[in-house]
């Protein structure tokens, strides 16, 4: 499944969803994980319009992702992502992306919770 990480230093999950200009995308499975690219979005000050438009633009850019790890995210933005079947997860300790990838793989190898099993299916459906 594809997982996005909001980061302003390319190492830690430390960026607010609405302020992130780059999301680092990983393909993560129980056995393998690999970096697959960067999704760039315009900075908030570069995007005219209502904040809902900015949330929609970020959601559209991350449409292939099942999960997005962020430093912070507001309630309305989180709800809009969930409606698009993208599950936002806050990183409380601003963890390194590599550590989060390892932890996620451990969960996938054990017994993933139902919401995560559904998220995994998102990556398997045909386009």
The reported pLDDT for the residue numbered 49 is: 53
Strand partners, 88: 68
For the chain, which domains are there?
2-122 (3.30.420.130)
The reported pLDDT for the residue numbered 127 is: 39
The reported pLDDT for the residue numbered 92 is: 83
| Environment class of 122 (CB within 10 Å of its CB; exposed 0-12, middle 13-18, buried 19+) | middle
The reported pLDDT for the residue numbered 68 is: 97
Q: What is the distance between the alpha carbons of residues 88 and 39, in angstroms, rounded to a whole number?
A: 16
Per-residue pLDDT of the chain (127 residues; tens, 9 = 90+): 999 999 999 999 999 998 999 999 999 999 999 999 999 987 655 545 556 778 888 999 999 999 999 999 999 999 999 999 999 999 988 999 999 999 999 999 988 888 888 877 765 644 3
The reported pLDDT for the residue numbered 90 is: 95
Q: What are phi and psi of 49, to 5 degrees?
A: 110, 180
Element of type H or E holding 70: strand 67-70
Buried residues in 49-82 as b, exposed as e (16+ CB within 10 A): eeeeebbeebbeebeebbbbbbbbbeeebbebbe
């Amino acid at each position: 499944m594809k997982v996005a990480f909001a980061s302003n230093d390319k190492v830690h999950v430390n960026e607010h969803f609405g302020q992130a200009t780059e999301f680092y995308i990983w393909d993560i499975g129980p056995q393998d994980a690999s970096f697959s690219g960067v999704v760039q979005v315009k900075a908030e000050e570069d995007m005219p319009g209502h904040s809902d438009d900015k949330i929609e633009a970020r959601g559209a850019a991350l449409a292939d992702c099942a999960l997005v790890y962020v430093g912070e995210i507001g309630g309305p933005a989180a709800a809009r992502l969930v409606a698009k079947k993208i599950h936002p997860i806050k990183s409380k300790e601003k963890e390194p992306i590599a550590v989060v990838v390892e932890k996620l793989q451990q969960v996938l190898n054990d017994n993933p919770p139902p919401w995560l099993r559904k998220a995994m299916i998102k990556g398997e459906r045909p386009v």
